[in-house]
Amino acid sequence: MSQPKLNKFRTMDVLLPWLLEPCGTQVFVDSNYHSTAESRMLWPRTDGVCRWCPLLYVPFQGARKQVCPAASVKQCFDDVYTCERCCNVQKYGPRGDMDCWRRNKSEATRLESGTAAYEIPEEVLQRIIESAKSPAEILTLIGPEAWPTPSPKIFSYEMCCAGMVGEFVPGLAPYFHSQHQGEYFSQEKQAAQPPKEKVEICANFGGTYEDSGGGVVDVIQTDCSVLAQNSAQGWKVEGEARGVEVHLWTVVGKLREGHVQWSNQALGVIIIIIIIIIIIIIIIIIIIIIIIIIIIIIKFSSGWYHNTPRSPQSHAAYI
């Protein structure tokens, strides 16, 4: 269907399960031609908003027993927010259960499809990191270290049920889709396999921070081990980073757009720029002092306190 000559049959993916439902025939439709690089390049530019229509990515369920769409992102769901609940359009409407995406968050952004999207919950981001082949790259794509938008608001039906991750963040689709492998059946195969060993991945907290309680905190990080010390307050503590969190003592800090928000409401802001500004000011002061010294030396050498020789007449008068 990704070939231009077959584009006119793409809606058949959506309708075929519904057409064959009375016959009891189960139809499995993978998201291959939505998520591969080839299909994205060949997708007609004249499609307009159709490219953002979730229905094109999630065919009708028809007679198949599996409720979750083939393109669904399994890391979005858990025992409370299940795929069967969140992606149930028959019960909750065309965007599923909105409580699954909102999760007590008020700030949202409007996607081009017209629905509201929220910041990816930390537990979902952690599951994505643990299951990725290149976990560190996930943080640069959708984590607090993402550029140009840290922690982009894309958590929605479109992301989790329709699997439209490639539309939100280019290059993100391969982390979720089992392309060319039969996604329905690969999901069942993965469920039967023993869980993989947990991979320890964490954000980089290393740097210099301004302590809201006074002084400066220097953070040295090796892998996921963290050493923080405040010379002004005279303390040093070891901890560990877990995903986008850092655990020190009994408090937990979360990395959010250049600062660390602590569970005890304290705030540590990176002050590397402030230190650089202070250094520049000190250098300017030193340069000014050197210039003043040079001027004084020049004045001394040009005649200050230099005895002017008396003429013979004045010398005779003096005698």
SS3 labels along 107-171: CCEECCCCCEEEECCHHHHHHHHHHCCCHHHHHHHHCCCCCCCCCCEEECHHHHCCCCHHHHCCC
What local confidence, expressed as pLDDT, does residue 312 receive?
Answer: 53
What local confidence, expressed as pLDDT, does residue 284 receive?
Answer: 93
pLDDT averages per 10-residue partition of the chain, 319 residues? 70 79 78 62 68 77 73 89 90 91 89 90 89 80 84 92 82 66 46 52 76 75 84 81 78 70 58 72 93 85 55 49
What local confidence, expressed as pLDDT, does residue 288 receive?
Answer: 93
What local confidence, expressed as pLDDT, does residue 187 receive?
Answer: 47
What local confidence, expressed as pLDDT, does residue 315 receive?
Answer: 46
If one counts every other C-beta atom within 10 angstroms of the C-beta of residue 217, the result is 23
Q: What's the rounded Cα separation, in Å, for the pair 127 and 195? A: 12
